[in-house]
Amino acid sequence: MNSNINKAFIFSYLSGDTSALQKQMVNEWVKETTNEELFYKWLVEYEKQKPQYQTDVSKGIELFHHYVNKFEANAGFNHSKHPEQEVHSIHYFKKRWMLAASVMLGLIIMSWLLKDFITYQTYTTGFGETKSITLSDHTNVTLNSNSVLSVPRFGFGFKTRRVLLKGEANFLVTHKPDNQKFVVRTNQGLEVIVFGTEFIVYAREKESKVILNKGKVVLRYQEGRIQKQLTMKPGDLITFDKINHLKKEISTQPEKYAAWKDHRFIFEDTTLEEFATIMQENYGIRIVFKDSTLAKRTLIGSFRADSADELLQTVSEVFNVNINRTGNTVVMTDN
């Protein structure tokens, strides 16, 4: 991938603010299969931010009346008719024209709103919800709560096996006889490339993680302007911060990172501050600490909880703290 080509560069290209040489760079860049889907994703974002059609209703009505008056002045209507017949003809023409314009406008708006729906099959989970999905290539995906998986409606399993993930998911990828790769892409530009394996991708606002259980995967990511690549082995835990700085760890129990599939939560020196992030991401619940020292206390153990309240109650008993919940806000204080 040309490191000079990023979203901002493509937006300039789509706005017509690039030179002939830069346009040629984009044309060459987009020929690569790995870049084609990214280009169309950025194209959709660009069109959402800068729609090509801005409807000015008042101006449209003004132009319509101008057109009708001009049409009539140029003998568009037979003045030998009775005046009442002429008025009836004008009104009939206006109604038919407005109807056609309304239908056309409706079709434009509808096609715009349904663009992503037509392009992708989207699977979503709400707060506190998990979902198991079997894709058309027999790959099994388990979505964690508050997550979105987008799968191409056309050509998936044949021309491509590229999916987009926002949130967290466990993948059990089916190997294909032709060794066709399976690619998971996140909003941060991270690509997880596999040929048949089991792994977890965590792609939240704060950071991204990839945990490999079985097989082998290749990570492609961009740090600054440099395109990098890393091959993972089973047990590898790779963490990326917001600017894609990489941290590598080894886990002897990579399967524990998928404990959420069974509604289990495993904490290893997890601070209550980190626990608050988990509650926000998985249940949409904000935790407020009345005492800052309370947020630094650590939690160790494995707990099963089928709901946010059940998990909060468990933590309350372990730490002997008071929990006062109002809507989606929880205030935590020492006893």
Give the Å distances, CA to CA, from 31 to 25, 28, 101, 189, 214.
Answer: 10, 5, 38, 18, 32
**Domains of the chain, start order:** 7-52 (no CATH), 57-113 (no CATH), 120-254 (2.60.120.1440), 263-334 (3.55.50.30)
- Radius of gyration, CA atoms only, the chain: 28
Query: The pTM is what?
Result: 0.64
Q: Are the C-beta atoms of residues 121 and 133 closer than 8 Å to each other?
A: no
- CA neighbor of 166 nearest in space, from 144, 183, 181: 144
SS percent in the chain: helix, strand, coil, step 5: 35, 30, 30
Q: pLDDT-derived band of residue 70, with 50, 70 and 90 as boundaries?
A: low
| SS3 category, 233 | coil
Task: Look at residue 50 and tell me whether its pLDDT is greater than 70.
Answer: no
Q: What is the pLDDT of residue 84?
A: 56
Buried b (16+ CB within 10 A) or exposed e, 45-63: ebeeeeeeeeeeeeeeeee
Q: What is the pLDDT of residues 171-219, one digit of tens each?
A: 999 888 878 889 999 988 899 999 779 999 999 988 999 999 999 899 9
Task: Look at residue 78 and tell me whether its pLDDT is greater than 70.
Answer: no
What value does the mean pLDDT of the chain take?
81
Q: Which is it for strands 329-334 and 286-289: parallel, antiparallel or unpaired?
A: parallel
Q: pLDDT-derived band of residue 6, with 50, 70 and 90 as boundaries?
A: confident
Q: What is the pLDDT of residues 221-274, one digit of tens each?
A: 988 788 899 999 999 999 998 888 899 999 988 889 999 999 999 998 899 999
How far apart are the C-alpha atoms of 36 and 51, rounded to whole Å?
Answer: 21
Taking each helix axis from N to C terminus, what angle separates 7-14 and 33-49, rounded to the nearest 10 degrees? 60
